[in-house]
Amino acid sequence: MKTLHDLVADKLERADGATREALLRIPLDNIERWLANGHTAPHRLEQWRQMVRRAQASPEGFQELLALLRDDREPTQRLKDFAPFAGVLTREERHQAVSECAYHF
């Protein structure tokens, strides 16, 4: 079953260049806002910021981000607990996906 992280990766992968850049701006904006509000895990957000910036900078970095979002191993799950991708999927995409998503706790 697909997770919401899988769906984010799928959407990023399908997007054209301009749309992809706009979608990658969302997690960077979230990170800025969350850090400004005193997020409890700034080191995790910094990890994400570096990964998103690498994804913007090169095809290899983009593929690394997709692989991370789709990785379901335990070490990756901890990092994904702090994923800044809120807002990448629309409300409609989230609602349509509920039936096919498996949530990891």
Phi, psi torsion values for 35, nearest 5 degrees: -65, -40
> Do residues 88 and 26 make contact, with C-beta atoms less than 8 angstroms apart?
yes
Whether 14 has a pLDDT exceeding 50, the answer reads yes
pLDDT of residue 95: 79
Q: Averaged over 22-27, what is the pLDDT?
A: 98
* 42-97 per-position pLDDT tens digit: 999 999 999 999 999 999 999 999 999 999 999 899 999 999 999 999 998 887 77
pLDDT of residue 100: 59
pLDDT of residue 101: 52
pLDDT of residue 105: 43
Distance CA 11, CA 22 (A): 12
- The model's pTM: 0.88
pLDDT of residue 24: 98
Distance CA 70, CA 90 (A): 19
Measured from the Cβ of residue 58, the count of other Cβ atoms closer than 10 Å reads 10
